[in-house]
Structure 1
Amino acid sequence: MSKRRDVWITGIGLVSSLGEGLEAHWAALNQGQPVVDETGFSPYVVHPLAKINFDSQIPKKGDQRQMEPWQRIGTYAAGLALDSAGIKGDKEILGATDMVVAAGGGERDQTVDGAILTEIEKQPKPDVFLNEQLQSNLRPTLFLAQLSNLLAGNISIVHGVTGSSRTFMGEESSGTDAVRIGFSRIAAGTSEIALVGGAYNAERRDMLLLYALKHLAKAAPWSPVLRDANGVPTGSAGAFLVLESPEHARARGAKPIAKLSGIWSERARRGEDGAIEATLATMIAGALGDTTDGTAILSAASGAPQPTKAEAVVLERSGLPVRSVTDRVGHGLEAQMPVALAIAALSVSEGRLFPPLAGETLEKPFDGPLKRAIVTGVGHWRGEGVALVERID
């Protein structure tokens, strides 16, 4: 069996409530002031997307118009990643770049939904009225018209990424698996370069309604999720990473930002007491290996009560310095693991950890050099993920 190859992160594209790009995020992370909207979607907390000039990465207005907001966020972040890696516009490399995307199923038309709900109560034959709406406003292909792989399609059209393409659905686990598959293919030698990531638009009432119906939506006021796990503070964000074999990167003169040393996905039997804690602790131990020197944990915890409380127990027991990604940018569902990995890679490339956030009791000062970052992500109702990012000197 051939030896597993290293996998480098050679490009990062990141947009969130803190801004766009690595410099803006590093500055905001060190300032320690989350951007939160507690009134626009009252009574719920949302981390809104920073003001973005989409024209700089999606120049055609026609392309922008046919995309839903989450697709624009993802396509924009993908463009930033390609720029960061130095392969934007390189048709030869982009033609061989594989793409693995984590995405949801599209967004509802809130105006149409509201009009139908208002009018249907007045109809003598509600079923006939609804069928008429399905043929016009709602469309018989409501879901098929909003396929999750439209994000990958738009990235391909706008940026020319035309290698193999895969799209994963399935909440937080899809983000973990999107990166895991890209990583595994490069490590195994079946791919040389891949664009992996996802995007999420939190500023939409349909998803907030779904969270609210499950008693999972985070109500104002904002509070740190590891200290006070009483709901999911959703955040608009997009993150894409360019993963590359060292041989391919060296051949084109590219320098790595960090090394992705592993990513693991599990699914604990959550009906059993202690299952989340046992699964997550085992995954962290496997990622840690024999040393904890220069290592920190970046948590992508959702804020959902049971799983986040379990995650917090494991993080505290680890004895490692902890930082909550969700407290800074909110929770981006499918995009959360790519976002957390982007921030982890940024941190290890800087060689230090950003300061603890006021009020987050698990976060302690850490002044030593940062060599490794473990990323943890426990899904709001299923799925556990862990990744290891290491500094390259």
Structure 2
Amino acid sequence: MTETTSATPEPVEVWITGIGLATSLGEGLDANWEALNAGRINVDEKGFAPYVIHPWAPVNLETQIPKKEQRQMEAWQRIGTYAAGLALDSAGLKGNKEILSRMDMIVAAGGGERDISVDTAILNAEAQGNCTPGFLNDRLMSDLRPTLFLAQLSNLLAGNIAISHGVCGTSRTFMGEEVSSVDAARIALARIAGGQSEIALVGGSHNGERKDLLVLYEFGDYNLKHKFAPVWARQEHPGFALGSAGAFLVIESKAHALARGAKPLARLTRVVADRAQRKQPGAVTATLETLWSAVGVHEGGGAIITGATGAEPVTSEERAFLERHRDFAVRSSGTRFGHTMETQFALGLALAALSIARGALFPPGDSSGVEVETKQAPTQIVVVGAGHYRGEGMALVEAVN
């Protein structure tokens, strides 16, 4: 009797074939790459003083979003829908109804924006003793439009992308600040690698120009105040400068890309995540080392693109991890783009794929010594994300041979 065994299927290779970037540095890959190499940083120290933010660069929204559809979106949804359109353009998929109809979408998103004028009126009335029984319910029912309430739902970003661009496969939305975009990428990669999907749109968006968010993070003393400084130069005055950005990627199986004649920008090899018990000093450093082993980094050096926040103590613990890997050139997205919360990891993936595709790493963002110049064309880039409060993630992005 002959015993037969089934062969283990070859792992599915997953390519990044499209990138959409709409950030404080500009719109599209060329504009962002040029700004990075020129060392430009778009910072506003006065508009939301004392807080420092990175404002979104102006764009012509109608090139990606029909005007009638913009009215039902808040700023963070416009940013994300716009960046998603750029990613589809980059991948050569805009208008391809057959592929878009089955393209999966995995989005990282936060909560919707507050209506500041309504909140202010209610708080002022409360402070002045003008709140009669039922006052709050009356104001909420009369002052908040149903469309505004709907626009606050996190999964409406995916809905608006579907409406504007026709991406109509399965849809998932992850919440949970920085780690939400780690999980968005991790699940998208796992689905394609496991044969459950062939192509996906992955990413997120963030509007950092929100007074309600600045108030929220001020309760935890997380905001960078008064004067901008690079992420690695904030030890004496820690904090993050919120940034406005949209970052989306098209990822697909190698077979699917080849079948439609698409060329890879880079390969997304692995995404891993964890959550350190941060009450213990050094826990983040130890967790990042564990993730480093799990992500499958090759010896011989490369680059690290980190979403380090500038908040403490997590930034110092991440810096201790980076010191152990000095053969990898470090770049911080937070210095150049600000901290884009749910978008930060997707932004790191986009920058890694763009750097590999352009055959170079953009220049250092400061003179602290953490980031050093390198002329070596990167063939592997590790994307690191450690949340300001919780959650850690890591990804390996590689050149396609």
Partner SS for 1:119: helix
Letter in 1 for 2:349: L
Normalising by structure 1, what TM-score?
0.96
Match of 1:309 in 2: 316
Is the CA contact 1:299–1:340 (under 8 Å) kept in the aligned structure 2? yes
1:278-317 to 2 correspondences below 5 Å: 278-293=286-301, 295-317=302-324
Q: Given the superposition, is the C-alpha separation of residues 369 and 142 from structure 1 closer, same or farther in structure 2, using an over 3 Å criterion?
A: closer
Match of 1:231 in 2: 239
The answer on 1:218 being equivalent to 2:224 is yes
1:106-121 to 2 correspondences below 5 Å: 106-121=112-127
Q: Given the superposition, is the C-alpha separation of residues 227 and 379 from structure 1 closer, same or farther in structure 2, using an over 3 Å criterion?
A: same
1:1-393 to 2 correspondences below 5 Å: 1-58=8-65, 60-138=66-144, 146-229=152-235, 230-293=238-301, 295-319=302-326, 320-393=328-401
CA distance in 2, matches of 1:186, 1:252: 16
Shift of 1:137: 1.6
Letter in 2 for 1:185: R
Normalising by structure 2, what TM-score?
0.94
Letter in 1 for 2:292: I
CA displacement 1:333-353 (0-9 Å, x = unmatched): 001101111011101111211
Q: Given the superposition, is the C-alpha separation of residues 124 and 84 from structure 1 closer, same or farther in structure 2, using an over 3 Å criterion?
A: closer
Letter in 1 for 2:54: H
% identical equivalent positions: 54
Is the CA contact 1:70–1:201 (under 8 Å) kept in the aligned structure 2? yes
CA distance in 1, matches of 2:389, 2:182: 15
Is the CA contact 2:72–2:151 (under 8 Å) kept in the aligned structure 1? no
Q: Given the superposition, is the C-alpha separation of residues 357 and 281 from structure 1 closer, same or farther in structure 2, using an over 3 Å criterion?
A: same
Is the CA contact 2:297–2:396 (under 8 Å) kept in the aligned structure 1? no
Q: Given the superposition, is the C-alpha separation of residues 69 and 10 from structure 1 closer, same or farther in structure 2, using an over 3 Å criterion?
A: same
Is the CA contact 1:46–1:202 (under 8 Å) kept in the aligned structure 2? yes
CA distance in 1, matches of 2:356, 2:147: 45
Is the CA contact 1:298–1:323 (under 8 Å) kept in the aligned structure 2? yes
Partner SS for 1:133: helix
Partner SS for 1:261: strand
Question: What is the aligned length?
Answer: 391
Is the CA contact 1:100–1:165 (under 8 Å) kept in the aligned structure 2? yes
Shift of 1:145: 5.5
Shift of 1:141: 10
Shift of 1:358: 3.1
Is the CA contact 1:134–1:140 (under 8 Å) kept in the aligned structure 2? no
Shift of 1:354: 1.1
> Where does structure 2 lack aligned partners over 5 or more consecutive residues?
1-7
> Where does structure 1 lack aligned partners over 5 or more consecutive residues?
none
Letter in 2 for 1:40: G
Shift of 1:247: 0.4
